[in-house]
Amino acid sequence: MINSSDIFHGKILIVDDQESNILLLGRMLRNGGYTSITSTTNPGKVCELHLKNSFDLILLDLQMPGMDGFQVMEKLKEIEKGGYLPVLVITAQPDHKLRALKSGAKDFVTKPFDLSEILIRVYNMLEVRLLHLETKQLCDRVVAEQKIAERLLLNVLPHSIAERLKGRPDFTADSFTEIIADSFNGVSVLFADIVEFSKFSAGVNPEILVGVLNDIFTRFDSIADNRGLEKIKTIGDAYMAAAGLPVPVEDHAICAANMALDMIEALNSFNEQSRYKLQIRIGMDTGPVVAGVIGKRKFLYDLWGDVVNTASRMESHGIPGRIQVTDFTRQQLSKPFVLEKRGVIDVKGKGEMHTWFLNSRDDF
């Protein structure tokens, strides 16, 4: 809301080649309550003074020797570069008014000066100036907040999904109404779980606990980015990622296998640096899934399908420090991956399944 005291503190520049006019206008404005008044009889110094003082209003005589008011306004346009600067032109020639408005003037006063007219027009123009500044600040704040909201959106959703949401007419930064759901025929899902993390967490304070998880999962996030997987979510000390969505790729199983092996290496590196002895189990499966966004305010990109459940079972029925994959995933992998047949195991909810261990990459 505009405060009248802000208007009376506006910085005003009076430009007129007649010293008597400057003295008269200055006295009128000071008697009217304005406290910040500068003047010059040299039109060539207007731009220099404005760059130094950032005036809120310029009272500009149009008829001056050497450089007239129209030329001054052209120079002001160059340094303002689209900004809003109120110029109140002073003229005794009625035919100059239209040209002055076309040249960038916002209003005009006529000679001889009328005290009431001067005070009203100056007040109105300074008020408009403040309103313009407030509007610009509000717009800048809205744009900044929108950018923050978009960054947050990209942090919780895949980029292509976030772009689709932003293109929906019903979408706002915190809600939308339509459903986004897609089917994928070929996806490889990876689950990882830190072994006996509950026992580990009982012996450390909360800050250390969160720091450990943050360090490990940040390393996993970096691997997902490098290997082209989409991090789906973390649940406690469990980490879920998928390859082949939201943009389908042919080598999704290879990408997921590379990530799984990188995760084992990353945790070993973490243990060497921290002197902890943590281990993870990793499980993988390959096949069709449905993926989409759930939630109206707290968005989550999630997956559904038998592949998701089976990959979770591969992890929970696995062995610490090893990567267990289904036969469907094994069929998608060949050299340079080295796999070891585990045999038939009884999987909860699935019955007997042939599974394999992904042991390493034969880089040579």
Active site residues: 313, 348
Cα–Cα distance list, 69 to 89, 112, 150, 256 (Å): 8, 18, 46, 71
- Contacting residues for 171 by C-beta, under 8 A, at least 6 apart: 165
Alpha carbons 38 and 5: distance in angstroms, whole number: 18
Handedness of CA 317, 321, 324, 329 (dihedral sign): positive
Alpha carbons 236 and 256: distance in angstroms, whole number: 21
**End-to-end Cα separation, the chain, in angstroms:** 71
